[in-house]
Amino acid sequence: MIFKAEVHIMPRKTVLDTQGKAVEKTLIHLGYTSLKEANVGKIVKIRLDAESADSAKKSVESMCQDLLVNELTETFDIIIEASCK
Amino acid sequence: MKTSIVVFPGSSCDRDIERAISETLNTQVDMVWHEETTFSNDPDLVILPGGYSFGGYLRSGAMAACSNIIEAIKTHAAKGKMILGIANGFQILTEAQLLPGALIPNTSLTFICQKAYLRVEQTENMFTSDYKIGDVVQFPIAHHEGLYFLPPSELKELEDAGQVVFRYADPVTGESGAEYALEGSLNGIAGICNKKGNILGLMPHPERATFKHLNGGVDGIAFWKSIAKAFGERGGF
Amino acid sequence: MDFHKVGLSDSEYKTILEILGREPNALELELIGVMWSEHCSYKSTRPLLKTYPQKGKHVVQGQGENAGVVDLGEGWGLAFKVESHNHPSAIAPFHGAATGIGGIVRDIIAMGARPAVSMDGLFFGDSNLQKTHTLAKEVVKGIGFYGNAVGVPVLGGKTFYSPAYNGNPLVNAFGAGFVRLNKIASSQTAKPGEFAVLVGSKTGRDGIAGASFASRELDENDNASNPNIQIGDPFEEKLLIECCLDILDKDLMTSMQDMGAAGILSSSSEIAQKSGCGIDIQVLQIPLRDKGMEPWEIFLSESQERMLLIVKEENLDDVFKITKHYDLDCKTIGTLTDNRRYKVFKGDELIANLPIDILGDTPVKFWPSEVPADLSERQAIDLSTLKTTSPAEDILKLIACANGNSKHRIWEQYDSMVQLHTIMGPGSPVAAVEVPETKRACLLTMEAEPWKCFTDPYLGASETMALSLRGLWLSGADALGMTNCLNFASPEKSERFYELKESIKGLADTCRELDCPVVSGNVSLYNETVSAPIYPTPLVVTAGLIINRDEILKAGMTRSGDKIYLVGENDGSLGATRYQKMKNGKPLGKTVEPDYENEKLFRERAIKTAREKTANSGRVLAGGGLAVALANEAISSGVGMNISIKPQTTVESLLFSEGGARAIYSVPNNKIKEFENTWNGFSFDCIGTATGDSLSWDNLFTIPISDISKAFLEGE
């Protein structure tokens, strides 16, 4: 079965998120004074073949550890859904 | 002495380093493609060059750290032989966990190409033994992801273990620290080694300070000579 | 299908019917329409460009190839060219500028050269507008993103701000590479029976009809939405560089062409036509990125990072092996024929069948030319409005202004040292790079003088060219050749065409008189928005050679105690100078008339001065005149100067006039006699001494060099 996965990668709270800070500053400059915080991360979209949603998630987790994420500086979330195609 | 320079797709300083060490070291140089699984010439020194391996996409050095040759590099490291990573090469070494820490985007969010002054902080390794602690050298920097990061407790361990080899410094006073790091590196760290002292990674480019007729200065010459001396004193491996 | 939609005029369409003897089908009409567009055909400028001097003893390859090549000696050549990416950069500053670098790099590869140098001519709008800074920031980021990743150092450039570029910024990318003279590749050496091989990225819908897009004026709402902009991938480009050079080095290809405007169509038709062949192309063989692309889209796509190689059958396997090594897509898409026809097949079906010459021998267009009605107004200058009440204040303003201050914030974002051959990089008036494996150095100057071209296109262009030469001569180099980017407004307007025609004439005359052939170039027209045209902006890059790199005379090397000399006349013209513009708010007045005999006297002496090392430092007079040259020399050397020289006309003219063969030198005391002997027969004057930490001028002013330095580094 084909699954769609999205890996949401964000800088760790302990790491200076320079892009987030820059976005934050600019938005406030534009008048969005209610803004409390902005963080910039990245999304990796993956389509993969797996037996079940669980095994798809396991497989994507392993991808994160092997390549997609540097756990020293980043955290990640995985969202899995069955692909209609 | 035998040297292997690993070439990744997107490496751009491989030929520069080849020229710099051919000029300054009595060494035979092999260029090794990243898809190789072994070093055929049993090198004493392996160099990972600067550039944009795999386009610098995802994270600098992340994909290169998954290349075939990395296993051979780890074997080489385990034998206690020398590994030098410059700029992208340093990033690859951290991604491959041969050195601690990570290199993340400069606080300016821009690429920075400038001359940089470094204080030699440590000489108990296989690369800087010909220097004195406190020497200030100029190697140019050219990077977009050069901010050295390590969580606080590990950073303390690194400092306590004396693994910081180069720190950004003021050229006049020789004082080093975070305030002299243009990209915002923690503790002003420009280069570190592993505990054994056989692996060195640094963001600045010593090869760009090797030819007197070029515009990068000549402080790199002493760096290469120091490697040769360390190697000679050990009488090889 | 309506031929107007592909940009053809009634008379052009009539010509097409005559050539074909039938109506073209829709695909054929698209192909012809693009190849006949201004961007691909240069129909408005071809007759003018023919007036350039093209031959010279150093020219190995002149106009007509992907780039020109000049002889650097010891078996090496320099392939170089400058190209515009104005329209894409106006619409999408980051990607437009980035792909501009990609394009020029491929032009250099196509000559068989390893790309070794890049420089950028950037013309932005009003420096007081936030919009300008936002755009400039993106352009600079785009150039850095691409150039840094492909590993080609930026050695310098030109950045100019003026409201004339508010709606239409200019991004001119210069590229140069070193090539072994016996390894030069060509797009004219394909033979029937050989295969056309496409290497690099898959073809997608990006940049479709970019060529015709660049052949018209920008709509005011063009930046709202344009799906056509190309996206660059410097990683793919870097692999393409290594791959093509590898294939070339192993003698596995016979011809090569990069894919720029009108992608597969222009590259394949040019290579076939210039080689005297025909070509059959199989459209189903072309690897696609987007689904459902029509043949015309495939042929016109401007997807980046693609090259067309011509390969003999027996070499195909080896070529495929090398492309696989670099992980690049590679596909045989066609065959060269001897029938001089451009045929496109879709499977067995022949879907286009044109005589090859209809795509290559495009018509020329003659536009009426008329002296601009306001030209005399532009040339009128009222000297009484140019009085200085405080020279010190004016000098600091000229140094701090957007066109005078340091551009380090830009060039520090570019890798200027990769490839380990930069002798003089950004920040120097002249760029210098070592010639591989030799003691030689190749020097480069990039110049543009939009204000002077606006008030007098002929004189302005002439002064631009002469300025680029003087910089080389002063450094000690012989000029080898020039490349130019002609940025102008619509040629369809007679006053704009006049400016174009006169500028080209100014460049051509100066190049001819001063022995500098034109080896390559690019024309970008229709640079205007409904509100205004840009200034006439011819940009030149001139290449020079020094046999012994230790003989380069640099700027910023003045030592305390040196005598300061002014060579050349005390006065140039105040017309269209940085000072005049500052005082009047707009450029007015003509620059100097060319004096070629004087330039030649200057050339001979300047080169001798460098070679005999009779000066420590030198600098030609440019923007801001004598005062700004001295100020810049003082801060870059870190030493003050005591200057004493009386005006022959006015103080303003002495301090700030520009134009003509003039320079300052710093001469050590033990070389004074030799220096003066060298300059015998030319106007020269010892005007002061390097000393202290201020720039002082008789009783006119004293400015601490720390103040000048602050103005220079921090700007307004």
Q: Are strands B102-104 and C306-311 parallel, antiparallel or unpaired?
A: unpaired
| Among the four given CATH numbers 3.30.1280.10, 3.40.50.1820, 3.40.109.10, 3.30.505.10, the one describing domain A2-82 | 3.30.1280.10
Q: What pLDDT score was predicted for residue C227?
A: 52
Query: What DSSP string runs through C41-56?
Result: H-TTTHHHHTTS----
- 3-state SS, residue C579: helix
CB-nearest partner of C417 from B10, B110, B113: B113
Q: Which pLDDT tens digit goes with each residue over A22-78?
A: 899 889 988 999 999 999 999 999 999 999 999 999 999 999 999 999 999 999 999
DSSP for C430-465, please give it.
Answer: SEEEEPTTSS-EEEEEEEE-HHHHHH-HHHHHHHHH
Nearest to C392 by CA among C708, C137, C31: C708
Does residue C220 have a pLDDT over 70?
no
What number is the average pLDDT over the span C105-118?
A: 96
Taking CB atoms and an 8 Å limit, are B112 and C412 in contact across chains? yes
Give the mean model confidence (pLDDT) for residues C303-331. Answer: 96
- The C-alpha atoms of residue C325 and residue C250 are separated, in whole angstroms, by 14
Note the pLDDT of residue B186: 96
Catalytic residue among C58, C85, C87, C95, which?
C85
Mean pLDDT for all residues in chain C:
94
Contact B58 A68 (CB under 8 A): yes
Q: What is the pLDDT of residues C227-265, one digit of tens each?
A: 567 889 999 999 999 999 999 999 999 999 999 888 899
- How much is the mean pLDDT over chain B? 95
Residues of B with Cβ-Cβ distance to C411 under 8 angstroms: 113
Per the DSSP assignment, residues forming a β-bridge with A8 are A43, A77
Mean pLDDT of B173-184: 96
B95 near A73, Cβ under 8 Å? Answer: no
Distance from C-alpha of B108 to C-alpha of C367, rounded to nearest angstrom: 50
Q: pLDDT band for position B234 (50/70/90)?
A: low
For residue A14, give the nearest of B95, B106, B151 by CB distance.
B151
**Is the CB of A19 less than 8 angstroms away from the CB of B58?**
no
C348 touches chain B (CB under 8 A): no
Within 8 A of B105 by CB-CB distance, chain A residues are: 18-19
Contact A7, A81 (CB under 8 A): no
Closest alpha carbon to C533 in C223, C218, C222: C218
Q: Within an 8 Å CB–CB cutoff, is residue B59 touching chain A? A: yes
| Whether C530 contacts chain B with CB within 8 A | no
Domains and CATH numbers, chain B: 2-234 (3.40.50.880)
For residues C327-342, give the mean pLDDT. Answer: 95
CB contact (8 A) between residue A72 and residue B150: yes
C338, C341, C346, C352 alpha-carbon torsion, rounded to 10°: -170
Structure tokens at B21: 């060490």
> Hey, is the C-beta of B95 within 8 angstroms of any chain A C-beta?
yes
Neighbours of chain A (3+ CB pairs under 8 A): B
From CA C428, how far away is CA C436, in angstroms rounded? 21
Contact between A5 and A78 (Cβ < 8 Å): yes
The span from the first CA to the last CA of chain B, in angstroms, equals 10
First to last CA, chain A: 10
Distance from CA of B212 to the nearest CA of C (A): 9
Burial C211-244 (b: 16+ CB within 10 A, else e): bbbbbbbbeeeeeeeeebbbebbbbbbbbbbbbb
Statement: residue C452 has pLDDT above 80: yes
Distance, in Å, from the CA atom of C630 to the CA atom of C563, rounded to the nearest integer, reads 12
How far, in Å, CA of B46 to CA of B28, rounded? 12
Chains A and C touch (3+ CB pairs under 8 A): no
Contact assignment for B110 to C141 by CB distance below 8 Å: yes
- Neighbours of B (≥3 Cβ pairs closer than 8 A)? A, C
Judge whether residue C211 has pLDDT over 80: no
**Which pLDDT band holds residue C213 (cuts at 50, 70, 90)?**
low
CB C552 within 8 A of CB C424: yes
H helix intervals, C282-424: 295-300, 316-325, 356-360, 375-379, 391-400, 408-411
Any idea where the domains of chain A sit in the sequence?
A: 2-82
How many Cβ atoms from other residues are within 10 Å of residue B14's Cβ?
A: 21
pLDDT higher than 50, residue A6: yes
Q: Is C325 a catalytic residue?
A: no
Tokens of C388: 């200085």
C334, C322, C335: which is closest to C247 by C-alpha? Answer: C322
C418/C38 Cα distance (integer angstroms): 37
Task: Tell whether C419 lies on the interface with B, counting CB pairs under 8 A.
Answer: yes
d(CA C656, CA C578): 8
Residue B58 forms contact with A (CB below 8 Å) = yes
Indicate the domain borders of chain C. 186-360
What pairs with residue C565 in β-bridges? Answer: C665, C686
Tokens representing residue C156 in the block: 């310098």
- What DSSP string describes C648-713? SS-HHHHHH-B-SS-EEEEE-GGGHHHHHHHHTTS-EEEEEEE-TTEEEETTTEEEEHHHHHHHHH
Q: Does C234 lie at the interface with B, CB-CB under 8 angstroms?
A: yes
- Taking a C-beta distance cutoff of 8 angstroms, is the pair C445, C430 a contact? yes
Sign of CA dihedral B207, B210, B211, B212: positive
The predicted structure's pLDDT at residue C291? 85
Contact C341, C356 (CB under 8 A): yes
Q: Identify the pLDDT of residue C485.
A: 98
The CA-based angle C546-C548-C553, given to 5 degrees, is: 65
Chain B: closest CA distance from residue C421 (Å): 6
Question: Checking phi first, is residue C674 left (phi over 0); if not, alpha (psi -120 to 50) or beta?
Answer: alpha
pLDDT, tens digit, for every residue of C582-608? 999 999 999 999 999 999 999 999 999
Residue C85 a catalytic site member: yes
Q: Please say if the pLDDT value at position C7 is more than 80.
A: yes
State whether residue A22 sits within 8 Å of chain B by CB.
Answer: yes
Percent share of chain C, pLDDT over 90:
88
Query: C160 forms bridges with which residues in the sheet?
Result: C123
Give the pLDDT band (50/70/90) at residue A18.
confident
Partners of B13 on chain C (C-beta within 8 Å) are 151, 418
Convert C478-510 to b/e letters by CB count within 10 Å (16 or more is b): bbbbbbbbbbbbbbbbebbbbbbbbbbbbbbbb
* B51 CA to centre of own chain: 12
A73 contact B CB<8A: yes
Do B63 and A67 lie within an 8 Å CB cutoff? yes
pLDDT of residue C551: 95
Q: Can you give the pLDDT at residue C224?
A: 37
Residue B66 is nearest to which of A15, A18, A67, comparing CB atoms? A67
Chain A contact for B97 (CB, 8 A cutoff): no
CB C448 within 8 A of CB C542: no
pLDDT at A26: 87
Q: Does B184 sit within 8 Å of A16, measured CB to CB?
A: yes
Q: Which residue has the tokens 């700007």?
A: C715
Tell me the pLDDT tens digit for each residue of C551-574.
999 999 999 999 999 999 999 999
Contact (CB<8Å) B149/A67: no
Count residue pairs from A and B with Cβ separation < 8 A: 38
Given pLDDT bands bounded at 50, 70 and 90, which one contains residue C531? Answer: confident
- Chain A residue with minimum CA distance to B105: A18
Could you give phi then psi for residue C154, rounded to 5 degrees?
Answer: -90, 120
**Mean pLDDT of the region B202-226:** 96
pLDDT at B163 over 80: yes
In this complex, the residue of A11, A18, A73 whose CB is nearest that of residue B109 is A18
Which residues in chain C touch residue B207, judged by CB atoms under 8 angstroms apart?
420
C694 DSSP β-pair partners:
C704
> Are the C-beta atoms of B106 and B182 separated by less than 8 Å?
yes
Give C530's pLDDT tier (boundaries 50, 70, 90): confident
What residues form DSSP beta bridges with C80? Answer: C68, C176
Q: pLDDT band at residue B128, thresholds of 50, 70 and 90? A: very high
Predicted interface score ipTM higher than 0.90 = yes
Nearest-CA distance B64 → chain C (Å): 13
Q: Read off the tokens for B213.
A: 């007729």
Distances (CA, A) of C688 to B105, C401, C536, C630: 49, 27, 38, 11
Indicate whether C706 pLDDT > 50: yes
Superfamily of domain C186-360: PurM-like C-terminal domain (3.90.650.10)
pLDDT band at B24 (very low <50, low <70, confident <90, very high): very high
